[in-house]
Chains A and B, each alone.
Chain A
């Protein structure tokens, strides 16, 4: 299972997303998943099972794998709910 966190440069917001995703996975008891970051330019070339990103970038990434759109990057509850839904756990 590989989860890809995507933002414009792959430096700031996506790293925060990665930390939040890792936190959510831990709380949900999901193991064996790796979380990587990517910028919007290269994201399409990176193999992944789930993509997590902001509403601005979601339209540019749809079609290949499930795309999770996060409105509030620091809201742990939103992240946990949406990860639980896409992974079918919790």
Chain B
């Protein structure tokens, strides 16, 4: 009996196993063959363990960057990278994250079924990252156990239909009104870019009338661009810190070699984490889609942001560069006013900045794309800075979430947590009430599929 008890307890306590079990249930429900069920279950568990291995490598490089920046500039520099922060979060919040992700999927199908927001959010890694963010912020606010999981899952499921709805008016302009929705948690930035683009620009003057030089296409390879920028960040910090301080940290290794190896180690860690994430979502998402197709057959699939790239490839590169510039301007402002300094992260600026460029271009042409993605760059930099205190212990890891929705949702949830400090039940109820109001208003006005009535998220 005690053997059985300890077995059950360990199954529920080990996130990797929990995730494997969820995949198992999903694959059985989707009526996959026995060999697919076995390989899918094993791959989910393996993926989670691989993710942990990548986290260790990432942390090693980040732990060298922190002191180097501090010695060089006297500042605490933070590089937003979703993969890094999520991987670190799994060490303490793995079970909660896994449960919120799985029940978040269920809540998504439920909301798509009963509200006019008919979206199925298929960007599995963002579901996973949002689950990690929610478990960190809600945990810091004092929620525990089933209350944490239930609140987190409902919020996640709500966001999975609300964010595609928020993006949909501009998404239709990007795609010319096709059957796909945008399912990516950078949506506040895209919405901002589309909204501002309409105000400042002229969509006839499209960026797509221009060609971009082929020589910049290596930026599309995110591992190469991450390596290059991290190398610059390490090298600049090392030069500023001076040879002695760097040698102490590197154990005698030459400054240039140390910077290069640490930058590539960081990128290698990101690659491993991505490999793990790929194995997890590669099995769960198709199973989820199989089930949701049966329950909400008329739903639109909400897909990852690169789905917009083929519609406006020049805008992607312009949006990326301009958003990155916005990040650099923000970094200088933060340094001047004494906030935590957010060093522009490559991956968020490429994907989110690029998509913001596509949205701005669709509503306001050249000027819309430039202004919209610049504002996006500022939004995701300051969002990252203000999110840090709400993440609790996770806020001290030299990295954080890079995309707007993680940040804004986290800041709102953290604010609610602060306002009702001490009463976990009140915090949970207030957040769910906010979500319920937004969903209810959207349902009543019933213009949800064309124009979301309320753009605030819980």
Binding site for B on A (CB under 8 A): 7-13, 15-16, 18-19, 22, 37, 39-42, 54-57, 59-60, 71-74
The interface residues of chain A lying within 8 Å CB-to-CB of B143 are none
The interface residues of chain A lying within 8 Å CB-to-CB of B319 are none
A–B complex contacts, Cβ < 8 Å, 28 sampled:
A8-B222, A9-B125, A10-B278, A11-B304, A12-B123, A12-B184, A12-B305, A12-B307, A15-B282, A15-B285, A16-B122, A16-B301, A16-B303, A22-B286, A39-B222, A40-B221, A41-B221, A41-B223, A42-B271, A56-B310, A57-B220, A60-B220, A71-B310, A72-B178, A73-B303, A73-B307, A74-B180, A74-B303
Residue among A9, A71, A72 with most chain B CB within 10 A:
A9
Asked if residues A9 and B122 are in contact (CB atoms below 8 Å), the reply is no
Which DSSP category, helix, strand, loop or mixed, fits chain B's interface?
Answer: helix
Known: A8-B222, A37-B278, A74-B180. A13 touches B289 (CB 8 A): no
- In the complex, what's the smallest C-beta–C-beta distance from B308 to chain A, in angstroms? 10
The interface residues of chain B lying within 8 Å CB-to-CB of A55 are 310
A19 to B281, CA, bound (A): 12
Q: Is B177 on the interface with A (CB-CB < 8 A)?
A: no
The interface residues of chain A lying within 8 Å CB-to-CB of B415 are none
Q: Is B295 on the interface with A (CB-CB < 8 A)?
A: no
Chain B residue with Cβ nearest A42: B271
Q: Is B274 on the interface with A (CB-CB < 8 A)?
A: yes
Which DSSP category, helix, strand, loop or mixed, fits chain A's interface?
Answer: loop
Asked if residues A9 and B307 are in contact (CB atoms below 8 Å), the reply is no
Asked if residues A41 and B289 are in contact (CB atoms below 8 Å), the reply is no
A55 to B313, CA, bound (A): 10
Residue of A9, A18, A54 touching B274 (CB-CB under 8 A): A9
Asked if residues A19 and B289 are in contact (CB atoms below 8 Å), the reply is yes
Asked if residues B179 and A13 are in contact (CB atoms below 8 Å), the reply is no
A73 to B123, CA, bound (A): 14
Asked if residues A11 and B301 are in contact (CB atoms below 8 Å), the reply is no
Asked if residues A74 and B221 are in contact (CB atoms below 8 Å), the reply is no
Interface string of B219-230 (1 = CB under 8 A from A): 011111000000
- In the complex, what's the smallest C-beta–C-beta distance from A16 to chain B, in angstroms? 6
Extra pairs beyond A12-B307, A74-B179 (18, CB < 8 Å):
A9-B222, A9-B274, A9-B351, A10-B278, A11-B125, A11-B277, A11-B281, A15-B281, A16-B301, A16-B303, A19-B286, A39-B222, A39-B274, A40-B220, A40-B222, A41-B223, A59-B217, A72-B178
Q: Is B309 on the interface with A (CB-CB < 8 A)?
A: yes
Q: Is B372 on the interface with A (CB-CB < 8 A)?
A: no
A21 to B179, CA, bound (A): 18
Residue of A13, A39, A56, A59 touching B304 (CB-CB under 8 A): A13
